[in-house]
Amino acid sequence: MHDLVITGGVVHDGLGSPGAPVDVAIEAGRVVGVGKHVGPARRTIAAEGRFVAPGFVDAHSHSDALPLMTEPQPFKLLQGVTTEVVGNCGFSVAPLDEVSARYVDDAWGDLLPGVSALPGSFADYLDRVEAAGPTNNIAPMVGHGTLRLTANGTRRDLSDDALATMCALAEEAFRAGAAGLSTGLIYVPATYADTDEIVAIARIAARWGRPYATHIRDEGERLGEALEEALEIGRRSAAKVQVSHCKAFGPENKGKSTLLLNTLHRARAEGIDVRGDQYPYTASSTFLVTLLPSEASEGGVEELKARCADPEVLRRQLTPGSWGPTTAEDTVIIAHADASTVGRTVADVADTRSLDPFAAVCALIAEDPGAMVVEHGMHDDDVVAIMRDPLIGVGSDNGAPLGMQHPRTWGCFPEFFGRFVRERGIIPWEEAIRKATSSTARQFGLQHRGTLQPGSIADICVFDPETIAHPGSYTEPDVTPVGIHHVVLGGTVVVDHGEFAGVRAGDVLRAGSS
Ligand SMILES: [Zn+2]
């Protein structure tokens, strides 16, 4: 007697094979049979008219601390996502010491409501998340930004022993099971790092067989140079490279998806194992402070606030590529201590305050250094070209599912399947499912995940290809997706007839222990 069978659906293996009308049998958390007449079970899910696919694997998540919240946060499960790779863009929430933990809380105004950053090793963080019980699986990477913050504060130049400290902390994180090394080279203090510094740490990742995932230094004007740096790091360290949230940003950079894709394919031909991920939207989202020159944040949050009080000095330090490709009309504030600014463009706030846009940005950061924005700056042609490339997987780049966020937080995967696969026919279903499952699982070494075949861990999404969608928008993003009927996590039904079952059944996936 099986624990669970899913009958009558069209089963996708996650490897890109065409769907097949077969049943799936699950026992002790694993898929034990895929075929006709798999036998009886204690529970049957009838999946007529639906697709039965591996649970989606989110290549690019920022859910690191969400499992620590009092209430479970099922927003990913409700999209069919069973595993998230977290710790992206150089931001992991460990390792931290007293000083760096305080900085993180000051800069972000606490990690999350009710959750502050805690000093501790990477292993401590994994234990803490495991004890809390995540709602879905998480595979955490260690962030270079966090390593640098802990080893060297927010200073630009490294102290004598800082790189050795970063390497030792990275080694410890990989031993504990970190899924990879990430960088976010537009953020302070990571942006102060030169290529050699990152190569030194990426070599440790490579020795442990873990990938290097990077939010590159520039996604617009200097996209080509920024990609070359990522590839140089891959070449010199021998780590696999994952280019995070691939895009060509800013109206002047329309068409640069060709440069991006050609560069990735050329690098693969040269022997560098590089891939990428993407969220299916023409707007990005990040901290408002990234629009300032990197000098602004040197020394800490109080120094940043003081510099923002005198925008003229900062204005002279502006380089093309930071403020450059963004327009005040296309930048919308989505999180700020002054709630009256949320949902409005920088241009609009500047107008109300009789300031020019740059001065308004400085004033907004002085009031709330953790302010966040959505920036409308990509062309649909580039989004689609990147999506069509087989090297690119799906990664949401979500924020916390609280307040106003980019709709990708609640809707990335249903938006991808509903809008781009069903409505627009950009890629076939089986290829889209592969991009959302095995493609990412393989890149991050997630064994027995992202596939649906005998022996796979029973992480499964049952969805309706005719209705899957995210009805949210930029102005009303926090809407539950439709068309996701059942989600199974390690054999446990965690989304049942579209409703979260209330259980915290996720695992912390430690690399190197299966
Ligand atoms: Zn990023």
* Cα radius of gyration (the chain): 22
The DSSP secondary structure of 296-334, one letter per residue, reads GGTT-HHHHHHHHT-HHHHHHH--TTTTTT--GGGEEEE
- DSSP reduced 3-state for 193: coil
Distance 164 CA to ligand 1 centre (A): 26
Determine the Cα–Cα distance for residues 346 and 333; give it in Å rounded to an integer: 7
Give distance in angstroms: CA of 513 to centre of ligand 1: 28
- Residues with C-beta atoms within 5 A of ion ligand 1: 89, 215
Q: Which residues of 58-91 are buried (b: 16+ CB within 10 A; e: fewer)?
A: bbbbbbbbbbbbeebbbbbbbbbbbbbbbbbbbb
Which DSSP string corresponds to 459-513?
Answer: -EEEE-TTT-B----SSS-----BSEEEEEETTEEEEETTEE-------B--TT-
3-state SS class at 208: coil
DSSP per position, 117-177: ---B-HHHHHHHHHHH--SSEEEEPEEHHHHHHHHHTT-SSPPTTHHHHHHHHHHHHHHHT
CB-CB neighbours of 235 under 10 Å:
17
Give the list of residues 6+ apart from residue 464 with CB closer than 8 angstroms, or none. 49, 50, 51, 483, 485
CA separation for the pair 128, 69 (Å, rounded):
11
How far, in Å, from the CA of 487 to the mean position of ligand 1? Answer: 28
In which element (H, E) is residue 43 found? strand 41-46
List of the chain residues with pLDDT < 70: 109, 319-325, 514
Ligand 1: distance of its center to the CA of 480 in Å? 24
Query: 346 CA to middle of ligand 1, Å?
Result: 21
Q: What is the pLDDT of residue 322?
A: 57
Angle between helices 223-237 and 257-270 (to 10 degrees): 20
What was the pLDDT predicted at 134? 98
Q: What is the 3-state secondary structure (H, E, C) of 363-415?
A: HHHHHCCCCEEEEECCCHHHHHHHHHCCCEEECCCCCCCCCCCCCHHHHHHHH
Q: Collect all residues with Cβ–Cβ distance below 8 Å to 508 and sequence separation of at least 6.
A: 126, 129, 130, 134, 137, 138, 140, 177
Ligand 1 centroid, distance to 47 Cα (angstroms): 37
- Ligand 1 center from residue 61 Cα (angstroms): 9
DSSP single-letter state for residue 287? E
Ligand 1 mean position, distance from CA 245 (Å): 7
Beta strands in 159-300 (DSSP E): 181-184, 212-215, 241-243, 274-278, 283-287
10 Å Cβ neighbour count for 279? 29
CA of 215 to the centre of ligand 1 (A): 5
CB 387 within 8 A of CB 326: no
Say what angle helices 357-367 and 301-308 make with each other, to 10 degrees: 150
How many angstroms does the Cα of residue 20 sit away from the middle of ligand 1? 37
Residue 329 backbone phi and psi in degrees, to 5: -70, -30
Residue 20 DSSP class: B
Rounded-to-integer distance, Cα 513 and Cα 365, Å: 43
Query: The tokens of 411 are what?
Result: 């809707």
CA of 2 from ligand 1 middle (Å) equals 42
Residue 394 C-alpha to ligand 1 middle, in angstroms? 14
Residue 98 main-chain phi, psi, to 5 deg:
-55, -45
- Phi/psi for 119 (5° steps) reads -65, 145
Task: Tell me the three state secondary structure of residue 425.
Answer: coil
Q: What span, in angstroms and rounded, lies between the C-alpha atoms of 429 and 167?
A: 42
Q: How far apart are CA 394 and CA 387, in angstroms?
A: 9
Between the CA of 499 and the centroid of ligand 1 the distance, in Å, is 30
User: Could you tell me the two tokens for 261?
Assistant: 């894709």
Of 370, 337, 345, the closest CA to residue 187 belongs to 370
Instruction: Determine the Cα–Cα distance for residues 500 and 73; give it in Å rounded to an integer.
Output: 10
Which residues does 160 contact at the CB level (< 8 Å), separation at least 6?
A: none
